């Protein structure tokens, strides 16, 4: 059947095409999941990612660490917030319950 001249209804102009996004998407440098670019808030070097992957036993990362030039190893790579925490877990001195970083002082009584 041909769709020529057929009425498509009032929703035709409001249809969203599947697979298209309003904002550009990119993969996380470590976990390689797809995110909107705005949600890739962490930044690290490619070397840190390759070292973590080598620590997990990925042999191709060990090879890349040896073969990549320093300019490639120290490129900045965007990562998701979860992977940013995996790569830089912190020293553990902060109070886990207080996300503001406020230590108290005279006003905290």
The answer to whether residue 10 sits within a structural domain is: no
Joined tokens for residue 90: 């912190």
Q: Could you give the number of structural domains in the chain?
A: 1
The answer to whether residue 77 sits within a structural domain is: yes
The rounded percent of the chain whose pLDDT value lies above 90 is 50
Confidence of residue 88 (pLDDT cuts 50, 70, 90): confident
Note the pTM of the prediction, 2 decimals. 0.61
The answer to whether residue 79 sits within a structural domain is: yes
**Contact 89/59 with Cβ under 8 angstroms?**
no
The answer to whether residue 84 sits within a structural domain is: yes
The answer to whether residue 19 sits within a structural domain is: no
**Contact 49/88 with Cβ under 8 angstroms?**
no
Domain that holds residue 63: 32-89
Q: Which of 64, 27, 25 is nearest to 46 (CA)?
A: 64
88 Rama class: left (phi>0) / alpha (psi -120 to 50) / beta? beta
Q: Which tens digits make up the pLDDT trace of 34-74? A: 988 888 999 999 999 999 999 999 999 999 999 999 999 99
Cα distances (angstroms) measured from residue 109 to each of 27, 57, 103, 104, 105: 45, 49, 11, 7, 8
Query: What does pLDDT average to over the chain?
Result: 77
């Amino acid at each position: 059947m041909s769709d020529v001249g057929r009425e498509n209804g009032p929703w035709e102009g409001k249809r969203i095409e599947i697979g298209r996004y309003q904002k550009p998407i990119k993969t996380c440098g470590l976990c390689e999941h797809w995110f909107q670019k705005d949600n890739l808030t962490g930044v690290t070097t490619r070397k840190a990612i390759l070292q973590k992957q080598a620590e997990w036993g990925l042999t191709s990362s060990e090879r890349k660490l040896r073969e990549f030039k320093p300019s490639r190893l120290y490129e900045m790579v965007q990562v998701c917030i979860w992977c940013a925490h995996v790569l830089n877990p912190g020293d553990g001195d902060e109070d886990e319950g207080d996300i503001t970083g406020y230590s108290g002082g005279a006003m905290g009584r």
